Structure 1
Amino acid sequence: MKDVPKAVWLLAGGVFVNAVVSFTFVFVFVYLTGPRGLGTAEAGLVTGIGGVGLVAGNFTGGWFGDRHGHRRVLLAASAVGGAVLLCLPLVPTPLLYAVLPAAQYASGVVRAANAALVAVTVPEGARRQAFAVIRCASNGGFTIGPPLGALLATGLSYDWLFVGDGLGTLFFALWTARVVPARGAARSAAAPDGGRGRGLRRELRARPAVLVLLGAIVVIDIVYRQQYSTFPVFLADHGIGTRAFGLIVAINGGVILLLELPAALTLRNRPALGVIGTGLVLVGAGYGMLLLGVGIATTVAMMVLLSLGEILYKTTATAYMADEAPAHAVGGFQSLYAGVSVVGVVLGPPLGGALYATAPGLLWPLCALLGGAAGATVLYAGRRTRRPAARPAHETGSPAAAVAG
């Protein structure tokens, strides 16, 4: 871990605090149907529009950073997002259709800009470890956050969830401004001709394995997100209640906290696409466990396999996109990955819900098949790509691809 810069460790501290107070993601639907008095359908519509804002923010945050500096964009989006969250309880209900997506958009920009900032700060060969550190901090905070949010909502009011989230987001902006140097990791290196050369399509055509990976991530994210939508409904239909579901989902955070960093260190010199493809196959295998029946053993095994798959593919794919990006478009490549990695938030519930409502027996076999197919496709692309695995940063001696902004 000595190759991970100090700035990344400090940034992870801010990510942890921000994740602890990110309550709104978990409780927004309950807030809309409870204190705000919206019907289920209208609350679903507002939440869905907010999800579109989140996806849009992920797709654009890195691009803004390439132009204006990743640190600068991260600070601006955190400040705006925190301010919007603080004001959200005071906003009239009709304006939630605009304000909630704005808050989610800012959150998406922060996520993409944060990934791009790490990518340009850390040299190739240490990025898997660096992204694993950030993910561990985020997952650790998110493990603590929901129970704390429940205490705030029931002990005080749901309005305090937004106040806490807003203050945490503003803290993240101040913390980032303090621990990340203003110069040296601000934006991706400029294109040789000022950015008017080869466009994104040409860059991607020159990297067919990246296109394969992005397509596979779209598929796997729709599959992966079923654990938060159709899976609890499936459990309830088989007599397993919400409390048990919460404990099963908690396994995910525990496995990630225990194994993500050791896995990143152990596999750091293995070909990225092989690690990613294996992870996607494990996600599919996790849903395949549900074909054996519904019980404690199968559901726990399902969640463990999903968690192991997530450990393998998410960190490695983020680092792979940074390694494959041209120097002038690190943020753009990170935005592409960040955007496709959350499309399941918008597409997963309606697609999975529609299939479960019409043919419930087909959902888990299809999830297993899609996960296996996505993984096999990435593994095949990896075999056809003869790019050598990145050497550790201390062996390459290459600096981060960043310039002042």
Structure 2
Amino acid sequence: MTGRWLRDAAGGLPATYWYLWAGLLINRLGAFAVLFLSLYLTEARDASPARAGLVVGMYGVGGVAGTLLGGVLTDRWGRRRTLLAAHAAAAAVLVALAVSTHLGVIAALVALLGLAHSMPGPAFVAAIIDVTPADRRSRAFNLQFWAFNLGMAGASLLAGLLAEQSFLALFLVDAAATALTTAIIAWKVPETRPAHADARAAGSMLTPLRDGVFLVFVLLTFVQALLNMQNSTILPLAMAADGLGASAYGLVVAVTGALIVAGQLFVPRLIDGRDKARVLALSMAVFALGYAALAGADALWAYLLCAVVWTLGAMIAAPPNAEINSELAPALLRGRYQAVFYLVWPAAGFVAPALGGVSLQHLGGAHWLLVGLAGAAAAAGQLWAGPARARRVAATAERTGTMVR
């Protein structure tokens, strides 16, 4: 029984995928610095909260540039070289941050760190698509999502322990984990870009922006990202208004992380063989229910229950979201398509708190009904857009001779 479950969850994936997966997990486990960057600035560098916020914001600015640059380099330069350059640069920047004291220098280094941390995203996903058979990609992306969350959960725990001892150690251990990921990629991950690929002849950065089917998918994913960002931006404010402190919010975050770590490996058996548009519509409906229910939440148990509901939606959405993204991207432009897709997260990271704060202030609990309505609209949108995506994928499969589930 256990053996069959393991085969269903993780079987049939090539060795290169597992080295990529291991690098991602190690990198996430060591991703300490960003989590405690604002605390480091205020406690160790005597920055005011306003200046600390400005410096931390530079990470997002660098992240947008890094995502676009990573997409172009992934197609033109190759997956392996992009991954190696980005991780080596991130390790060097982290060491520089550990010894820098001037706030202006730190701000510049934080922007560079955001760039270096965002560059590998398109290359990681493009490499996974390159080496994984189409009928195993759902499992591959499910395991990627699981590793990311497992690593972040471990990083949150380890970072707290390290920060109490030394901020210097925080940066240096992060740099060491990044360097270890670089070594794994250099040792075991070959170049996976299709042979004789000429991405310049296949199109430019504007190509995905002219792809209507892809852009509709990106827009629907942006709505999902807006809902996701409620957790880290608006939820703590709502809980504080109900008299619940930081420890209560920390418990909600811990429960959602534990649920993903414990349950994500069971998701493939639930969704394999099912229409991806319907799975995504279901996930968005579950998202909508979880957030809309917050309109009546005023106690910790209610917040925890709502968190369980919307986390189930996130777990169901992760594999088909990534799989559809991989199916819509032409082989020679996978990096650029991934870059445009990944931009929804920094964009949502700006829009969610900017609009959500105003909405919560003026609407109170009704803000969550509005969020739920957005989720319901996205669920309907997935059902509406699904047939066009399916026709596009089927036509691509027929042209290239590949099999689509």
TM-score, normalised to structure 2, is: 0.89
**Match for residue 86 of structure 1?**
95
How many aligned residue pairs are there? 389
* Residue range with higher mean Cα deviation, 57-66 or 351-360: 351-360
RMSD of aligned C-alpha atoms?
2.5
Deviation of the 1:384 alpha carbon: 4.7
Which is worse superposed, 112-121 or 258-267? 258-267
Change (3 A) 1:382 1:172: same
| Mapped partners of 1:203, 1:157: distance in 2 | 45
2:277 is matched with: 273
CA distance in 1: counterparts of 2:196 and 2:135, whole angstroms: 19
Query: Of residues 77, 88, 105 in structure 1, which corresponds to 2:115?
Result: 105
CA contact (8 A) 1:56 1:339 kept: no
Shift of 1:85: 0.8
2:40 alignment partner AA: Y
Distance 1:226 1:189 in 2: 44
Q: What's the counterpart of residue 4 of structure 2?
A: none
Query: Structure 2: how far apart are the matches of 1:356 and 1:43?
Result: 25
CA offset digits 1:52-71 (Å, max 9, x no partner): 21233223312211101011
| Counterpart for residue 403 of structure 1 | none
Q: Distance in 2 between matches of 1:356 and 1:239?
A: 16
> Which residues of structure 2 form unaligned runs of 5+?
1-9, 395-399
Cα deviation 1:89-137 (Å, max 9, x = unaligned)? 3222112221101101110012222112112111212111111112211
Contact preservation (8 Å) 1:217, 1:341? no
- Larger mean CA deviation between 360-369 and 302-311 belongs to 360-369
Q: Is the 8 A contact 1:26 1:146 kept in 2?
A: yes
Q: 1:129 to 1:388 in 2, by over 3 A?
A: farther
Q: 1:383, CA displacement in angstroms?
A: 4.0
Structure 2 residue 165 is the aligned partner of structure 1 residue 165: no
Aligned twin of 2:311: 307
Secondary structure, counterpart of 2:365 in structure 1: helix
Q: How does 1:208-219 map to 2 (within 5 A)?
A: 208-219=212-223
Contact 1:248-1:303 at 8 Å conserved across structures: yes
* In 1, Cα distance between equivalents of 2:21 and 2:259: 19
Structure 1, unaligned runs of 5 or more: 391-395, 400-405
- State the SS of the aligned residue for 1:34: helix
**8 Å Cα contact 1:68-1:187 kept in structure 2:** no
Distance change (3 Å), C-alpha of 1:352 and 1:141? same
* Matching residue within 304, 318, 323 for 2:322: 318
Tell whether the 8 Å contact from 2:208 to 2:215 is kept in structure 1 after alignment.
Answer: no
Per the alignment, do residues 32 and 83 of structure 1 end up closer, same or farther by CA in structure 2, a change over 3 Å counting? same
CA contact (8 A) 2:38 2:56 kept: yes
**1:125 match: secondary structure:** helix
Cα deviation, 1:30-60, whole Å, max 9, x if unaligned, reads: 2222212222222112222211212332233
In the alignment, the residues of structure 2 paired with residue 189 and residue 204 of structure 1 have an alpha-carbon distance, to the nearest angstrom, of 25
Matched, 1:287 2:291: yes
**Structure 2 SS opposite 1:240:** coil
Partner of 1:195: 200
User: Does 2:333 align with 1:329?
Assistant: yes
Cα 1:358–1:43 change in 2 (3 A) is farther
Alpha-carbon contact 2:76-2:200 (below 8 Å) kept: no
